[in-house]
A and B are shown apart, each in its own frame.
Chain A
Amino acid sequence: MTEERKMNKSAIQRRLIPSYIFLIIVCFISVFPIYWMLTAATNNTYDVSQGKIFFGTHAVENYHALLQRADDTLNFKGGKGLWKIMGNSFLYAGVQTILCIFICSLAGFGFELYHDKKKDRLFGVLLLAMMIPQVATLIPLFRMMSSMKLLNTVYAFILPAISTPFMIMMFRQNSRNFPPDIMEAARLDGLSEIAMFFRMYMPVMKSTYAAAAVITFMNAWNAYMWPRAVMADNRAATMQMLIANLAGGYTVDYGVLMMGVLFCSVPTMVIFFVLQKQFAEGITGSVK
């Protein structure tokens, strides 16, 4: 059969031509708006509004204007504001990601490898939380954070998002690939349950962690409504808030705005590219 395949190689490629064409069209549509963002960041606002699709000469100018706006947001001087805002976004998203994947993986481990009727039922109840509209819980959550004196701290930002049913579900699904037998063997060797989680489960589930980290990081990076409510201090501003400031006001400079959008998109893109393989593997485990 392999012989036959080799011989038909060119025939197979010819049969795939419609697929290639389709893919090229889809990829063009997928990538074009991103290309447009890149060019817009190098043009002035007039060219952007006129739909110029080539790279312009205003990149440096837009970049300096962006630095200035970021400094203004923080009352900083000397162009460090943008990096501080980036740092904020990284800090919140990073802390949230680490805590989220840790707590949710622990739960996924517990739900699947120690599962019984009661735990399965509890899991079903937790899934209900997925359907709660965010806007409904905004006021009660704000009151809660205020009574716990957590407003303007990183906890107020991350606490509501650390434990999500989706992440628990993902780890629970993936845990099915984790063989229960080796746990038995480990128990006989005298390994404690918590040690099993750290020494056996965590290393085996690497790709699930990667996929979960990518998703959580992107969600945290994109969060806007909730952080704005609980982080009133301008020193805590995130990239999304900077973008919103750039897009507000009587006059909007689209070149600068797109430069901001570019800075806001690069980190998530880089993280996705770096973790792409693991991401795909992690997802694969969760849809088995």
Chain B
Amino acid sequence: MNKKSGVTRKQEVWGWAFLAPATILIFVMSFWPMIQAFIMSLKKGPAANMVWQEPLFKNYTRILQDKTFLTSMGNTFLYLIIEVPIMLILAILLAQILNNRDLKFRGGFRTMVFMPCAVSLVSYALIFKSLFATQGLINSALMHLHIISENINWLGTTGTARAVIIMGLIWRWTGYNMVFYLAGLQNIEYSVYEAAKIDGANGWKTFWGITVPLLRPVIVMTFIMSINGTLQLFDESVNLTNGGPSNSTITMSHYIWNQSLGVGVAKFGYASALAFVVFIMVGILAFINLKVGDTRD
């Protein structure tokens, strides 16, 4: 694979030239603003004329006493712990089922499972909001079926509001992850499955014995993407519940948004400090994931 010997100086220059535009853009549009955000996180005051915090790391020590941020962190990790495993397992299961060549209408099923991904984030939050309204469709359906005797206040009660957000996330993203798994499965020789069938392995055994291990790199990738996406979760919290009731569904990004542009005069210094903490959290989790999931060399 490594054709080092054949790489001439001219090619070496070309190689760098190819990746230069993208690299420069990322440095200018992501890393440089992030450095500026870090400097900002050591300051206070309106962003036009900020002054250094005293002591310098006060914005960071303040985080530890910030009950609302700790609540938002708890909420976000709750979504992470419950939603990501359910979603990913469901996605693998669906991929496994859809990979079966004996199954009919595979294309149709696949399309329908992926369909939620084509709905925009704002739109799906609005759809879920109206479905789960107190007088909404879900309640009237449950009433007709005599499962409940009075309307449930889905979005107004802590437990159910969190549940609706989690359901929304699963609905929106399962199909997306499923596509990655299905693609991964198509790279696995189908004969492996045929062989397993002949050996008398049942579906469950094939799933854990063949599918999951062979899909490990894809699983690691989707895991990192999901962790990243969940820790930066924003639209659902804003559009579905606006963080309520009493901040019990607010996410970290939503809280940072409130501190910067959301509510009242912005506290960019503090908001930047919060954002940095989130950045470090995502980094640590992604690193652990890569270490645990690393199978190469």
Contacts and interface: CB of A to CB of B under 8 A. Distances in A.
B118 A268 contact: yes
Candidate in B15, B117, B187 with the most chain A CB atoms within 10 angstroms: B15
Nearest to A180: B3
B121 A222 contact: yes
Taking each of A130, A240, A247, which has the highest tally of chain B beta carbons within 10 Å of its own beta carbon?
A130
B280 to A, nearest CB: 9
B286 interface: yes
B23 A107 contact: yes
A221 to B, nearest CB: 7
A141 interface: yes
B32 A140 contact: yes
A163 B19 CA distance: 10
Contacts of B117: 218, 272
A27 B110 CA distance: 9
B279 A122 contact: no
A251 interface: no
Contact of B136 (A29, A49, A222, A276): A49
A131 B228 contact: yes
B15 A283 contact: no
A264 interface: yes
A18 to B, nearest CB: 9
Q: What's the dominant secondary structure at chain B's contact region?
A: helix
Interface stretch (A30-38, A62-70, A71-79): A30-38
Contacts of A19: 97, 100, 103
Interface stretch (B58-66, B67-75, B153-161, B255-263): B255-263
A135 B103 contact: no
Interface in B70-125: 90, 94, 97-98, 100, 102-104, 109-124
Given A19-B103, A107-B22, A128-B31, 6 more contacts: A23-B94, A51-B136, A129-B26, A163-B25, A180-B3, A265-B118
Interface of A: 12-13, 16, 19-20, 22-23, 26-27, 29-31, 33-34, 36-37, 40, 48-51, 53, 103-104, 106-107, 109-111, 113-116, 119, 122, 126, 128-141, 143-144, 159-160, 162-166, 168, 180, 184, 193-194, 197, 218, 221-222, 224, 240, 243-244, 247, 254, 257-258, 261, 264-265, 268-269, 271-273, 276, 279-280, 283-288
30 contacts: A22-B97, A33-B127, A36-B137, A51-B137, A51-B138, A53-B137, A103-B25, A104-B22, A106-B22, A110-B14, A114-B12, A131-B279, A131-B282, A132-B34, A134-B253, A136-B256, A140-B40, A159-B25, A162-B29, A166-B225, A168-B22, A218-B118, A261-B126, A261-B127, A264-B120, A268-B120, A276-B111, A283-B183, A287-B180, A287-B221
